[in-house]
Amino acid sequence: MVTKKAKKKKMRKWLVFLGILLLLLVWWHFFFAPLEPRRTAEQKELLQDKITVLILGSDSAESENSGSRTDTIMLACLDLKEKKVHLMSIPRDSRVSIPGRKNKTRINAAFGYGGADLTKQTVEGILGIPVDYYMFTTFEGFAKVVDIIGGVEIDVEKRMKYHTYNSDIDLEPGLQVLDGKNALDYVRFRHDALADLNRVKRQQKFLLALANEMKKPENWAKLPQILAQMDDIIQTDFSKGQIVKIGTTFLGIRAEDVTMETIPGVPQTINGVSYFIINENKLPEALERFLGNVPEDDGEQEEKGK
């Protein structure tokens, strides 16, 4: 006959076992969360060991369901095998066809019409490649991340002073650590010769600087704090486990492993409205670079062949 004491001892063993199993499941979820987006066989062949992420930023304090427009649109190609990142910026004034809309318009309107899903569809239509995931943040959420890690060092290239409807931009030139508010002002400033195109360059420059800050060992410990506020800072179709997996995969990435460019095109005014017109002829070559299909020494070979 089994005594009550033996039963309790057996129950404790089962509870310990179940506790360990639960911890293992959580650990597996965070560090081995699958990154396997749904794709056709042709898409799988095109994007082997790579995932694409649409990065969206809005000047509005509202969520993606508020009907606001996007001020920042970037597509990232993450090469999980080679541990390289390719970024392509798409100016918000790009004149494109948005699914369900009769006439071509600026791409940043897609977000207001149908949120991240419609913006993903629009970008897929432009580039002809699948967009697997998205990350959306308001500029206020962006500033929170910068403040959590203690600021980001940036060489501000010139004097930036301008009054906007909700902020005063006032930055001196030179190398400095920008807090969340000043970092926000830096990436928002567009009152110079090439307006949105120069702003795109500053956004790319700042993202690289932010990535370098996140690589510092002293900032690794702040990842749980960022994850804890993830729902307030970022809206995404990634799970938190997938975000952790990407972070650990690219933890040691070097600056030379990140390439950035802007989709080819030129500014143009049509019927009094300023647009960015995408160059369809140069787009295939830009996509090859974006997907990492162009060998790094191609430029050197081309120079030698001249």
Least confident of 14-23, 99-108, 182-191, 215-224: 14-23
Q: Where are the beta strands (DSSP E) in 32-191?
A: 50-58, 72-79, 84-89, 95-96, 105-106, 133-138, 152-156, 160-163, 168-171, 174-178
Distance CA 214, CA 222 (A): 9
Residue 202: closest CA among 271, 262, 246: 262
The CATH number for 29-293, chosen from 3.40.50.970, 3.40.630.190, 3.40.50.620, 3.40.50.300, is 3.40.630.190
Two structure tokens written together for 93: 């004034």
**Domain residue extents for the chain:** 29-293
Report yes or no: 221 and 143 within 8 Å, Cβ to Cβ: no
- The number of residues in the chain equals 306
Distances (CA, A) of 62 to 18, 52, 72, 117: 42, 25, 15, 17
Average pLDDT, rounded, for the chain: 78
CB 173 within 8 Å of CB 159: yes
What integer pLDDT is reported at residue 252 of this predicted model?
A: 74
Contacts of 287 (CB under 8 A, 6+ apart): 127, 128, 129
Q: For 128, left (φ over 0), alpha (ψ -120 to 50), or beta?
A: left
Higher pLDDT, 199 or 63: 199
The number of C-alpha atoms within 13 Å of 145 and in the hemisphere containing its C-beta is 22
| CA-angle at 113, arms to 95 and 238, nearest 5° | 100
Per-residue pLDDT reduced to its tens digit, 257-292:
888 899 999 999 999 999 999 999 999 999 999 988
Q: Does 18 score more than 50 pLDDT?
A: no
Stated pTM of the model: 0.72
Identify the pLDDT of residue 187: 84
| Residue 57 pLDDT | 85
Mean pLDDT of 177-184: 92
pLDDT at 219: 81
For 128, other C-beta atoms within 10 Å of its C-beta total 10
Question: What distance in Å separates the CA atoms of residue 247 and residue 83, rounded to the nearest whole number?
Answer: 11
Give residue 36's pLDDT.
58
| pLDDT(12) > 60 | no
Per-residue pLDDT, averaged over 111-125, amounts to 94
Residues facing residue 57 across a β-bridge? 72, 137
The Cα 138–Cα 136 span in angstroms is 7
Residue 188, pLDDT above cutoff 50: yes
Q: DSSP assignment of 223-279, as one string? A: HHHHHHTHHHHEEESS-HHHHHHHHHHTTT--GGGEEEEE-SEEEEEETTEEEEEE-
Query: What residues contact 63, with CB distance under 8 A and at least 6 apart?
Result: 138, 235
What percent of the chain lies above the pLDDT cut of 90? 36
pLDDT band at 124 (very low <50, low <70, confident <90, very high): very high
Give the lowest-confidence range in 55-69, 149-163, 174-188.
55-69
Largest CA distance in the chain: 92
What is the per-residue pLDDT for 116? 92
Confidence of residue 21 (pLDDT cuts 50, 70, 90): very low
